A and B are shown apart, each in its own frame.
Chain A
């Protein structure tokens, strides 16, 4: 049973470009969460999605950031017009419908030049 898969592992973008981060949850998991981790900081909640629905986006900046989890395919975290402050590790986690246990992927390290 494959774990949570994230790609790419590393993503380099120049200021103003778009970043797309992908996450495939564990098999049988229908809930996806995105977290951001800055150096020497804990993980900060961004958004929680179920298939085709955003349930809680209270941790996601209102501008430039968006997330989706379509009926088919991976969840996508999209950052438009990236700035240097967006440089961080972005982790995706998944869970089953009724369990709070989160299983994390290996993350995408975004570097903005």
Chain B
């Protein structure tokens, strides 16, 4: 089955800096890669996703890049703010019409004022 590795497990940055979280996946058939943000005591919230026919996608301060050959994808957050502090999860699925996502173990991002 699919295996998703996520790094780093924790990331501390100063407000205004950029943050990058990286994930690798094992199944070359995977073609859907969402990123979720989870705040304390809440469920994961979808923040951005990318499909395998696209190499990069951007939404305001958030961008995701995908390298299918290397089987890795990354989340980039620019101009970080304290409210960006949360646990971020990457995930992958084969996208066969439904979505049994395989998640990474998460990255705890702490943005200091």
Contacts and interface: CB of A to CB of B under 8 A. Distances in A.
Contacts of B36: 104
Interface residues on A, range: 20 to 34
B108 to A, nearest CB: 9
B43 A91 contact: yes
Contact of B103 (A31, A42, A55, A106): A42
Given A42-B89, A43-B89, A100-B93, A4 B43 contact: yes
Contacts of B41: 106
B98 A95 contact: yes
B103 A43 contact: yes
Given A41-B105, A42-B89, A101-B49, A91 B44 contact: yes
A42 B99 contact: no
Interface in A1-28: 4, 6
Interface in A84-113: 91, 95, 98, 100-107
B88 to A, nearest CB: 11
A55 B95 CA distance: 14
A48 interface: yes
Contact of A103 (B6, B32, B46): B46
Nearest to A3: B43
Nearest to B96: A100
Given A42-B89, A42-B105, A56 B98 contact: yes
A71 B42 CA distance: 28
A40 B93 contact: no
Nearest to A107: B43
B51 to A, nearest CB: 9
B98 A48 contact: yes
Interface of B: 4, 6, 32, 34, 36, 41-46, 49, 89, 91, 93, 95, 97-106
17 contacts: A4-B43, A33-B100, A42-B105, A43-B44, A43-B101, A43-B103, A44-B103, A45-B101, A56-B98, A100-B34, A100-B95, A102-B99, A104-B44, A104-B45, A106-B41, A106-B42, A106-B43
